[in-house]
Chain A
Amino acid sequence: MRNSKKEIKEALKKWEDEILNPRVQKFKLDKSPTSFYTPLSSDSSHFLEKVGFPGEFPYTAGNSPFEFWRAYAEFGAKLNYRSDWGGTGRSGKYGGFGTPADYRDYLLKMQSMGRKGGPNIAFDLVTQCGYDSDSTFAEGEVGRVGVAVDSLQDFAVIYEAFTGELDIDKVPSNFTINAPAAVLIAMYVCLAKKRGIPLDKLTGTPQNDILKEFIARGTYIYPPAQSMRLFRDTCVFCCKHMPEFNINSIGGYHIREAGATRVQDLAFSMANGIAYIKAGLAGGLGVDEFAPAFTFNAFGGSMEIYKEIAFQRAARRMWAHILRDRFHAKNPKSMQIRQPITAHIGCSSTTLQRPLNNLARAVVGGMAAGMSGAIPGAFPPFDEPLGLGHSQEATQLQQDASRIMVFEAKVTDVCDPWAGSYFMESLTDKIEEDALAELEKIEKMGGAVAAIENGYMPRAVAKSAYERQKKIEKQEELVVGVNCFVGEHEIDVSINRLVEATYNPELMKTAEERQKANLARLKRERNGKAVLTSLRDLKVQAEDKDKNLMPAICECVENDATLQEISDVLREVLGEAQPMKL
């Protein structure tokens, strides 16, 4: 039997009058605490245009009917295969600490325990900000949040853990590096040359997403527009010489973690993505030459499971339309958001209070991921907010939670399970509509670079962070164990940490001194003249805006110029970004 819209509308009215409103009145509420959606809430007559099939434009339902991991999931389970340990052909666990030798030794130890996969390198803040370990800015920070890398020699030491079946033509590398991305890519190129590996065999992903550093996270060096020149140069270089290597990993994740709302996260990420596409085009490339090598790191997340699922669907549809309609991409790969995960709760949803509860929270995020096209990863491990690194116990619980969602709850047996839901489709439309309006505002300002230069995007994020804090303090948003269900009668459940620290704390303590000694030795032993000549050449090249700086940077790196020496030349020519005040 078919219902007409008129019939449904009348029935809805009747239901509101006879069932809903009397109930609201009975409990003396201003409005109902729940919603109910009907065919009136969303227009399902455009299914093919708005949702489509998984793997087909506009990719709302997913980039494919199932991803690689899903194909062999049960097979792997029976073999006790730990996907988090990586394997040949995959990048391993994100990490890094101490000196390059410290991290190399740690990786070798992990490999001997069965953990394979390419390096997924966290660099210390000194490296991320373009300084050397002997800089005054480096004091107390060397090797702390990642490994210290000052030169090609340091880089090569880390890679001593990657030879033979784990050589760089066989495993991909991930570099969480932004402002100095060009220098780190150059190091990778020079390492390949030293090893006699052709560049077209290299795989991997640099983060290379400088714009979000200005909106959140803060590891910028040069002003926004000048930073985009370096992005253009890496984009063109990678596209021409390293066709299997990704160009960037665009992140809304950091923007949301810094306080952005869901809509700001989506709009700002899209604005940044558009700016990167324009930079590639400005470098003389055709959109389908380079856009397929764009990746997304992750968007942000929250505890609101329905909205995060809708967010992922809206994001896929938006990017696909932007690439097809605005940039006339033809290659489906150009239009897809390639990201390792989809929805999650975000680290800022975890609480320091009663931290084991974060496991329950992460499972909610995992459900959202599983229902929006990815592995239901229970990210992050529950001990995230303790600031001690992820314990083996927390990582084990995280892995098991994910497995339970896949194999016992069978969350990922259906692709886009919410497709066609009156509620989810209307929510997806709403998020997309709001994000498009916000994106238009940014485009009117002149795009992402302009909206950073005038302070709009970073300030908007700061304000949203404060709005959220006010809501928590006023109990308009409830967070269990933080602003509700607190008191003596609640139990703070704790578990032991088998391994107290992820990395050897003694090594962490002495890393700075040892790395400074490494650097002093390098500066003594290298060919000083060659360093100066190549730095001088870099400066000349940098002064010409149209020159691609990658060859000159490679030359500096090959001659053992340090990261800071290279960055200082560029600081002199490109200028330095100033921190935002409030």
Chain B
Amino acid sequence: MGEGSKIRVLIAKPGLDGHERGAHVVVYGLRDEGFEVIYTGIRQSPAQIVSAAVQEDVDVVGLSILSGAHISLTKKVMQGLKAKGADDILVTVGGIIPEEDKKTLKKMGVEGVFTSGAKIKDIAAFIRAKLRESS
């Protein structure tokens, strides 16, 4: 990420889950926070998400999953990013994530997990802080 350039975010919906409210809100919200946000739309395979993230050269991938399939789908995205040498991309997960599973996701390398009630400005602040840390 160059000085002064916009933070680039890919919001992605892996798997077959079609509940988009959270993803839509985060897309609009982060755009208003001044980020460059690309939205994949629903029903993307982990491989499609990984290649979109690499192609679009994003700083952050935000996965939105409400189907309960978050563990297996996130694992595949994390592995895919690593295989492409893109594991420097910050990965966050949003959706209906039971407390127990948050730990599992963090162990996989997911930096932030955002569930119902999360505020856009907190998500934005989290991303800025994390990217500052790693730059």
Q: Which residues of A contact B (CB under 8 A)?
A: 125-126, 128-129, 131, 136-137, 139-141, 144-145, 213, 216-219, 257-259, 348, 351-353, 385-388, 462-463, 465-466, 469-470, 473, 482, 578-582
Residues of A within 8 A of B27 (CB): 582
Q: Are A348 and B21 in contact (CB under 8 A)?
A: yes
Q: Are B69 and A144 in contact (CB under 8 A)?
A: yes
Tell me the chain B residues, 7-59 only, with Cβ under 8 Å from chain A. 15-21, 24-25, 27-29, 39-43, 45
On whether A218 and B20 interact (CB within 8 A), knowing A387-B96, A482-B117, the answer reads: yes
Residues of A within 8 A of B28 (CB): 462-463, 466, 582
Q: Are B68 and A129 in contact (CB under 8 A)?
A: no
Select which of A385, A387, A580 is within 8 A of B68 by beta carbon: A387
Q: Does B98 contact A (CB under 8 A)?
A: yes
Q: Are B18 and A217 in contact (CB under 8 A)?
A: yes
- In the complex, residue of chain B having the shortest beta-carbon distance to the beta carbon of A481: B117
Select which of B20, B43, B71, B72 is within 8 A of A129 by beta carbon: B43
Q: Are B69 and A136 in contact (CB under 8 A)?
A: no
A126 to B18, CA, bound (A): 12
Q: Are A353 and B42 in contact (CB under 8 A)?
A: no
Select which of A125, A141, A462 is within 8 A of B20 by beta carbon: A462
Residues of B within 8 A of A579 (CB): 40-43
Select which of A126, A348, A581 is within 8 A of B16 by beta carbon: A126
Q: Which residues of B contact A (CB under 8 A)?
A: 15-21, 24-25, 27-29, 39-43, 45, 67-69, 71-73, 76, 96-98, 115-117, 119-121
Select which of B17, B24, B67 is within 8 A of A466 by beta carbon: B24
Q: How many inter-chain contacts with C-beta < 8 Å in the A-B complex?
A: 97
- Nearest Cβ distance between residue A55 and chain B, in whole angstroms? 37
- Nearest Cβ distance between residue A15 and chain B, in whole angstroms? 42
Main secondary structure of the interface of B (DSSP, over half): loop
Q: Are B43 and A139 in contact (CB under 8 A)?
A: no
On whether A353 and B117 interact (CB within 8 A), knowing A144-B68, A219-B16, the answer reads: yes
Q: Are B19 and A218 in contact (CB under 8 A)?
A: yes
Identify which of B18, B29, B72, B116 gathers the most chain A CB atoms within 10 Å of its CB: B18
On whether A582 and B24 interact (CB within 8 A), knowing A140-B73, A141-B16, A469-B120, the answer reads: yes
- In the complex, residue of chain B having the shortest beta-carbon distance to the beta carbon of A351: B117
A16 to B69, CA, bound (A): 58
Identify which of B15, B29, B73, B76 gathers the most chain A CB atoms within 10 Å of its CB: B15
- Nearest Cβ distance between residue A254 and chain B, in whole angstroms? 9
Q: Are B98 and A387 in contact (CB under 8 A)?
A: yes
- Nearest Cβ distance between residue B17 and chain A, in whole angstroms? 6
Q: Are B18 and A219 in contact (CB under 8 A)?
A: yes
Residues of B within 8 A of A465 (CB): 21, 24-25
On whether A129 and B25 interact (CB within 8 A), knowing A469-B120, A580-B41, the answer reads: no
A28 to B71, CA, bound (A): 54
Q: Can you give 17 contacting A-B residue pairs, CB < 8 Å?
A: A129-B16, A139-B76, A140-B73, A141-B15, A145-B67, A145-B68, A217-B19, A259-B21, A352-B116, A385-B96, A462-B20, A465-B21, A466-B24, A469-B25, A482-B117, A579-B40, A580-B41
A466 to B73, CA, bound (A): 26
A331 to B100, CA, bound (A): 54
- Nearest Cβ distance between residue A142 and chain B, in whole angstroms? 10
Residues of A within 8 A of B21 (CB): 257-259, 348, 462, 465
Residues of B within 8 A of A582 (CB): 24, 27-28, 39
Q: Are B15 and A140 in contact (CB under 8 A)?
A: yes
Q: Are A473 and B121 in contact (CB under 8 A)?
A: yes
Residues of B within 8 A of A128 (CB): 16
